[in-house]
Structure 1
Amino acid sequence: MSQALKMSPQKRATLVSSSVATLLVILKLVLGIASGSVAVLASAIDSLLDMLVSGFNFFAIKKSEEHPDDEYHYGKGKIQAIAAVIEGTIITMSGIYIIYEAFKKLSSGSVTTLLTPSIVAMTLSIIITYLLVKYLLKVAKETDNLVIKADALHYTTDLWSNAAVLLALGLVYLTGIDAIDAIFGLGIGLYIIYSAYEIIQEGIEILLDRALDADMVENIAKILSNHPEITSHHWLKTRTDGTTNFVEFHMVLRPNMLLLEAHRIADQVEDQIFLLDTNKNWVITPHFDPYDDERMNVAMLNGEHLSRVANK
C-alpha cells in the first residue's frame, strides 16, 4: 500500500490545502504587484500565510498522532492547540498588514491597473477556494480535528475576502474610483482579524485544560447517575487536547463489592461514554469509593491536609 493511502484524512487535508494555497499565492501575487491593487495584494499575502500555516499544520497533526511514550505519557495532542494559536496569531498579523497597506494607498492615491486580469484571477480564486472549503469542512466533520477546523475557518474567511476583493475590483472598473480598492482592503483586514479570535480562543482554552462542552459533561454525569449499581458519583473532571478527551470521576459503590465487580461496572460506564463521541479518542480514569469522600477531596485540593500533617 502506498504512503498516500496510509495517510490519515487530516494529514491529506493539510497537503491539499498547502498545494491550493501555493497555486493561489503565485496567481494573486503576480497580479497584485503588477496591478497595484491593495485588495489583490492583501489576498495574495493571506494566501502566502495560508501556505505556511498549512505546512505547519501538517507537522502539528503528524506530531499529535504519535502514540504516548516514556517521555510524553499523554501523547502530544496539545500541539494542535499550539498550532491553532500560532495560526490565529499569523492571521491577525496579516490583517494588520493589510490595514496598513490600505491606509498607505488612501494617503498616496495610487492607481489600480490590470483590472480585467485581476477580476478573472479573483473569480478563479473564489472557485478554487470554495471547493477547498467544502473538502476541509467534510474532513473536519469526519475527524473533529481542531487544526482542520481552524484551516476550514481560515479558508472560509478567505472565500469571503476574495468575494470582497472581486466586488472592489468590479466597482473600481465601473466607477474609476481607486479609493474603493483601499476601503475594501481595509474592511478585509478587519474581518481577518475578527475571524482569528475564535481560533486563538479555542486553542488557548485547550491549553488551559478547559472542560468539555457543558452538554457533554452533563451526558457523562447522566451515564453515571443512571447506572443501577453506582450509589453516587463526584469529582467529575474533563478536558481535551483536541484529539483525545480525558475524563476522571469518583463513583461510590457498595463497600463490600468485589474488585472484579467494580471493574465490570467501570467497563460498562466507559463503553457508554465512548459512544458520546466516536470521532475522539477517550482516556477515562474511574476511581472506586466505598463512600462519598468529596468533602475530603475538596479539603485536600485546598491544601488542608498539609496543615493536618503539620499539626501532628
Structure 2
Amino acid sequence: MGRRLATLSLLVALLVLGLKLLAYRLTGSVALLSDALESTVNVAAALLALTALRIAEKPPDQNHPFGHTKAEYFSAVAEGVLVVLAALLIAKEALPRLLQPLPLEGLGPGMGLNLLATGLNALLALLLIGKGKALRSPALTADGYHVLSDVFTSLGVLLGVGLAWATGRWWLDPLLALLVAGHILLIGLRLVRQSVGGLMDEGLGPEELSRIQEVLKAHLAQGALEVHDLKTRRAGPKAFLEFHLVVPGRMSVEEAHRLCDRLEEELKKAVPGLSVTVHVEPESERQG
C-alpha cells in the first residue's frame, strides 16, 4: 500500500509539474514560475519517499535486527529541507519582480491550467495524509503535507495573479508569491523538526503514553507490584516500549510469564504496532 501511494504521488507530481510549466510559458508570471519551481521539489520528494518506503519494508536482518523503518525519517527530513529550499527559491524569483513589476499576458488559459493542477494536488494531499496517518508512515505523511504546501502555494499564486489582472496592480503577483513562500517555509521547518525527533529516538506522544499508563495501572491490580524505568521510542510505523515489572517474590516463573503475556497483549491493543520488552524483577527491587 505504501509504495503504491508513493508511486501515485510521483506520477501526479510529474503531471502537475508539466501543467504548471505550461501555465508559466503562457503567462510569464513570476508567481506561476515560483509555483512550478515548488512542484519540481514535489517530484524529488516523491522519489525520496518511494525509495525510503522500499528500504523500510525490508524485514529485519543480522545488521538491522529492529528492521529498517527509520529509513522513512531520512526521507521526511529531506522533504522538509526541500520545502524550505522551495520557499527560498520562490523568494529569490519574486523579489526582483516586486521592485520592477511587469504586466502579464495569456492569464486566462494559464490560470485554468494552474487551477487544474491545484485540484489534482489537493486530492493527492488528502489521500497521502489520511493513509500516511493510518499506516503510521512518516514518509507518506510528510509527502502529503509537502503536496498540501504546494496547494497553498498555488491558491496564493492564483489569488495574487487574479487580483493583479483585475486591478492592473502587477506588483500583487510577486507580493503574494512572497507571502506564500513564508507559509511553506514554516511547513518545511515543522517537517524537519518532527522527523529529526524520530531519528533521535523521541518518545511516544502524550496520548499514546496515557493509553500505556492505563493498561499498566490495570495490571498492577492483577498481581504486579510496580513498574519503573519505562522508556518509549518510535521508528516509522513501529513503536517500542520497555520497562521493569516488579512482581511478588513468591510468584513462580510461569505465573510471571503469563502475567507478562497478558500485559503485552493489552499494550499492543492500546498502541497498534507496539513492540514490548519486559524485564521482570522480584519485590526486593521495588523502588516505590
Look up the equivalent residue of 1:244 and give its one-letter code: K
Match 1:250 to one of 241, 244, 247: 244
Aligned residue in 2 for 1:229? 223
Work out whether residues 211 and 271 of structure 2, in 8 Å CA contact, stay in contact via their aligned partners in 1: no
Residue 292 of structure 1: how far off its partner (Å): 5.7
Verify: 1:212 aligned to 2:208, yes or no: no
Aligned CA distance change for structure 1 residues 291 and 125 (closer, same or farther; 3 Å): same
How far apart, CA to CA, are the structure 2 residues paired with 1:170 and 1:230?
67
> Matched residue of 2:270: which SS?
coil
Aligned CA distance change for structure 1 residues 294 and 198 (closer, same or farther; 3 Å): farther
Match 1:176 to one of 168, 180, 191: 168
Verify: 1:92 aligned to 2:84, yes or no: yes
Gapped runs of 5+ residues in structure 1? 1-8, 296-312
- Bigger shift: 219-228 or 236-245? 219-228
Aligned residue in 2 for 1:55? 47
Aligned CA distance change for structure 1 residues 141 and 243 (closer, same or farther; 3 Å): closer
Verify: 1:23 aligned to 2:15, yes or no: yes
Runs of 4+ aligned structure 1 residues displaced above 6 Å come to none
Look up the equivalent residue of 1:101 and give its one-letter code: E
1:150-175 Cα offsets, whole Å, 9 max, x none, are: 11211222222211111112112211
Work out whether residues 232 and 292 of structure 1, in 8 Å CA contact, stay in contact via their aligned partners in 2: no
How far apart, CA to CA, are the structure 2 residues paired with 1:134 and 1:216?
24
> Matched residue of 1:275: which SS?
helix
> Matched residue of 1:209: which SS?
coil
How far apart, CA to CA, are the structure 1 residues paired with 2:113 and 2:51?
30
Aligned residue in 2 for 1:5? none
Percent identical residues: 27
Work out whether residues 26 and 109 of structure 2, in 8 Å CA contact, stay in contact via their aligned partners in 1: no
How far apart, CA to CA, are the structure 2 residues paired with 1:99 and 1:238?
41
Residue 92 of structure 1: how far off its partner (Å): 0.1
Gapped runs of 5+ residues in structure 2? none
How far apart, CA to CA, are the structure 1 residues paired with 2:285 and 2:194?
34
Verify: 1:39 aligned to 2:31, yes or no: yes
Residue 294 of structure 1: how far off its partner (Å): 6.9
Aligned residue in 2 for 1:241? 235
Q: How many residues align?
A: 285
- Bigger shift: 121-130 or 182-191? 121-130
How far apart, CA to CA, are the structure 1 residues paired with 2:117 and 2:140?
20
Work out whether residues 36 and 111 of structure 1, in 8 Å CA contact, stay in contact via their aligned partners in 2: no
Work out whether residues 26 and 107 of structure 2, in 8 Å CA contact, stay in contact via their aligned partners in 1: no
Match 1:142 to one of 134, 137, 141: 134
Work out whether residues 137 and 237 of structure 2, in 8 Å CA contact, stay in contact via their aligned partners in 1: yes
Residue 73 of structure 1: how far off its partner (Å): 1.3
Look up the equivalent residue of 1:237 and give its one-letter code: K
Aligned residue in 1 for 2:105? 113
> Matched residue of 2:169: which SS?
coil
Residue 102 of structure 1: how far off its partner (Å): 0.7
How far apart, CA to CA, are the structure 1 residues paired with 2:245 and 2:269?
20
Work out whether residues 23 and 110 of structure 2, in 8 Å CA contact, stay in contact via their aligned partners in 1: yes
How far apart, CA to CA, are the structure 2 residues paired with 1:169 and 1:64?
42
1:206-259 Cα offsets, whole Å, 9 max, x none, are: 111111012222321222222111111101100001211010000001113222
Residue 104 of structure 1: how far off its partner (Å): 1.6
Verify: 1:287 aligned to 2:265, yes or no: no
What is the Cα-based RMSD across aligned positions, in Å?
1.5
